[in-house]
Amino acid sequence: MIGLLLALAACGDAPEEPRLDLEEIGFGDLAGWRDDNQGLALAAFRRSCAKLSVEWRDACAAADAITSDEDGAARNFFETHFTPLRISDRGETEALFTGYYEPLLNGARQPGGRFTVPIHGLPPDHVTADLGLFDDELAGRKITGRLVGGVLRPYPRRGDIIQGALDGAASVLAWVDDPVDAFFLHVQGSGRISLAGGGVMRIGYAGANGRAYASIGRALVERGAFSLDEASLQTIRAWLAANPDQAAEVLALNPSYVFFREITGDGPLGAQGVALTAGRSLAVDGDYLPLGAPIWLDIMAPSPEPGGPDRRLRRLVVAQDIGGAIKGPLRGDLFWGFGADAEWVAGHMKHSGGYVLLLPKALARTLL
């Protein structure tokens, strides 16, 4: 994976696990820091404060005391209460960044006509077990499955669920008209459904079947459908539309299947349980980086104009989500919001760059 250094041991041993290394730097080392509107990141950070632990209490109290961003109040807040820590993995600082967005689907609350593709709610037998509770050597590892006769068993794979393996075992929130749209809804983790009877349903991630995520884009590259440089959400969609006889088989190559819940109020919600902010919320690997932490990005990103040159993106964001494909300390997924423009940028984003974790000063001292 681009930007991820997996140092190989000698004599054919397995690759070492990714490692999070942190190096203290100064805010003056952050190119573009004084040009960003940190007030937008501050608003996102405040949303996260309700979910953060006691180590963040003083910073969150100070954030709540800011009534305006006049005279750079937000920038001064971060400089006063946080320590910047450059993220690396054994000296490698270049990370891979992708993008995601909130899609819009067409659907209905009841099946009929063209609305034949179910969007499942979380099954009542869904169980996630923390293996670290049973064995200290498994700390941080979890397993998801279903209880069958008092025994935890794996859920069916995506292809089997699409063929009806969970019919009657999981509620259906809505029925949509396009299996490809449903697939990308699963990849994004949240979305909106324009209902045939009127109104819009907003849905968000509730759980998954516990199967590892697999990229159908990578599979299509390996089949020669297009090159790795050409791979994007848009080229994958185009290939599926041009090859309808192979679409179901290709979609089933990703065994992961997502269950949803209906959301009322602000959204979409990230894994931290707070509403995401377009352009200011980042999905990370929660095994390495804490949700709720501000993160400074210095990365490349696609142009919002089709065919335009890539642009430099330097801004403060907040880690508020996770993703099945977001693994390791040098990996991030930037939320771009809702609408066609967000879909365009998110679908084309697979760019590299560096990033810096901001931690409250007292917490940072315990790690250095």
What is the per-residue pLDDT across 284-338, written as a single tens digit (0 to 9) for each? 999 999 999 999 999 999 998 888 999 999 999 999 999 888 999 999 999 999 9
pLDDT at 14: 53
**Rounded average pLDDT over 117-144:** 93
Amino acid identity at 184:
F
Q: How far apart are the first and last CA of the chain?
A: 28
Tell me the mean pLDDT in the region 40-64. 96
Cα Rg of the chain, angstroms: 21
pLDDT given at position 325: 86
Give the pLDDT band (50/70/90) at residue 3: very low
Tally of residues, the chain: 368
Mean pLDDT along residues 19-31: 97
CB 206 within 8 A of CB 119: no
Q: Could you tell me which of 214, 190, 192 has the C-alpha nearest to residue 202? A: 192
**Looking at the predicted structure, is the pLDDT value of residue 5 above 50?**
no
Q: Which residue has the tokens 């600082």?
A: 93
Give the amino acid at 82: F
Would the pTM count as exceeding 0.75? yes
Structure tokens at 48: 């996260």
- In our burial notation (b when 16+ CB lie closer than 10 A, e otherwise), range 333-359 reads bbbbbbeeebbbbbbbbbbebbbbbbb
pLDDT above 90 covers a percentage of the chain that reads 88
- Both tokens of 282, joined, read 């980042």
Domains and CATH numbers, the chain: 10-100+270-367 (2.40.40.10), 103-263 (2.40.240.50)
Q: With 70 as the cut, is the pLDDT of residue 120 above it?
A: yes
Query: Per the structure block, which two tokens stand in for 45?
Result: 């950070």
Mean per-residue pLDDT, 195-218: 95
Cα dist from 313 to 4, 272, 351, whole Å: 20, 24, 11
